[in-house]
Each structure stands twice: as structure tokens, then as C-alpha cells.
Amino acid sequence: MPLKSFDEYVALAEVAHGHMCAGQILGLRLAIHGVTLLGIDDPAGQDRKRLVSFVEIDRCATDAVPIVTGCRLGKRALKFRDFGKVAATFCDLQSDRAVRVAAKESSKKRAQELHPEIQDKNAQQMQAYREMPDEELFDVQWVRVKLGPEDMPGYKAPRVVCAECGEGVSFKREIIRDGKPLCRSCAGERYYEAL
Ligand SMILES: [Zn+2]
Ligand SMILES: [Zn+2]
């Protein structure tokens, strides 16, 4: 199924995200712009194995990206880099091209100029982000993204057991230290503290 209409995406995003908001509209526009620049007509269907997306913020806009691209964390096709930016990079594995699309800092101010009559900020931005041309909303940069085999959606590797905690580690995410396999947590990247 080729790209859907914008309103169809809005309906899907609202269900997935739990509400409709300016961030969703921006995220949908951003993702549609990205796949269109890459010339991918059917990202969530026929072309679903072509695309890997990187998102750079853990806010509303990010939830809209899988709606358009079909890229999901659980398929290793969605990568999160916590940079605090409304931006995403779309990688076409088939043509080996990638494009980074970033929301312009000026977009909020532009929304104000376009719809001073709408008091509510979120409503104002939702309306404006639907109407503004891509060039006003986004900066676009063609980039190269180095994806290793372990970054690819279908990558498999033997499961190893961490020499320290005994938990299994898949897909070569282990770290070898003094000849022994360690999970990333035991190797020093632990984000939690045992109580
Ligand atoms: Zn939201
Ligand atoms: Zn461990």
C-alpha cells in the first residue's frame, strides 16, 4: 500500500500515541518528507525492508515516525539516539542513501505568525504544521550512516551467557574482557542499581 493520505496517518497516529498534538503532526510531516526524499513509495508495505530510521528525541514527534515508516524498535529498524532534537534520519538500505530531516527552530514562531487568531498554542501549531511547506518546517541534509551488520534488522548471532551475571546476551551485544564475555551491564554500562 503506497503512502496514505495525511488524514489517514493522523487517525493512526492518534490511536497509537493516545492523543493528537502538534508534535504528532510535525512528526508525521517529518517522516513523510524523509521517505519521499528517498523515493520510497510504500515504506510500511512493499518497501518495508529497505528502511532504517534513527530518531533523536523521546517525545511526541517520535511516535509518529513508525506510523509512516513502519520502522519499529522490535524489528531493529528504529534506532533511538537521545539528542533532544526533533529530527530523524532515514536510511534506504537498497540505494545506500540517507537523509536527515530536522524541524526548524523557527517553526513555532512561524505558527504564531500564521495563526495569531488561535489562542491555544498546541491548536495553533497543529493547524500551522499541517499547512506550512516542507521548506519552512524542515532542514534537510543528505548524510552517510555507518550501519554494521549487527545494526541490520535481520542480523543474527549466537547467544552467549554473561560470565558475571549469567544472563543471556543476543546479537553480539556482549563485550569480551580478558577473554570472557560480559553483558554491557556488567561491563560498566548499568543504568540501574540493585536494592
Ligand atoms: Zn503528543
Ligand atoms: Zn552480566
- Give the pLDDT confidence of 38-95 residue by residue, as tens digits: 999 999 888 889 999 999 999 999 999 999 999 999 999 999 999 999 999 999 999 9
d(Cα 144, Cα 147) in Å, to the nearest integer? 9
Neighbours of 153 (CB within 10 A): 15
56 neighbors 87 (Cβ within 8 angstroms):
yes
Residues in the chain: 195
Give per-residue pLDDT as tens, 145-192: 999 999 999 999 999 999 999 999 999 999 999 999 999 999 999 999
From the CA of 169, how far away is ligand 2's center (Å)?
8
CB distance 107 to 132 below 8 Å:
yes
Report CA(13)–ligand 1 centroid distance (Å).
Answer: 9
Contact indicator for 108, 136 with CB cutoff of 8 Å: no
DSSP string, 2-25: -PPPHHHHHHHHHHHHSS--HHHH
Q: How far is the CA of 157 from the centre of ligand 2 (A)?
A: 18
CA nearest 113: which of 104, 124, 126?
Answer: 124
Give CA separation, 100 vs 13, 33, 55, 92, 142, in Å.
21, 10, 10, 12, 6
Smallest CA-to-CA distance from 180 within 168, 163, 166 is with 163
Residue 185 CA, ligand 1 centroid: distance in Å: 32
DSSP secondary-structure letter at 187?
A: I
Model pTM score: 0.93
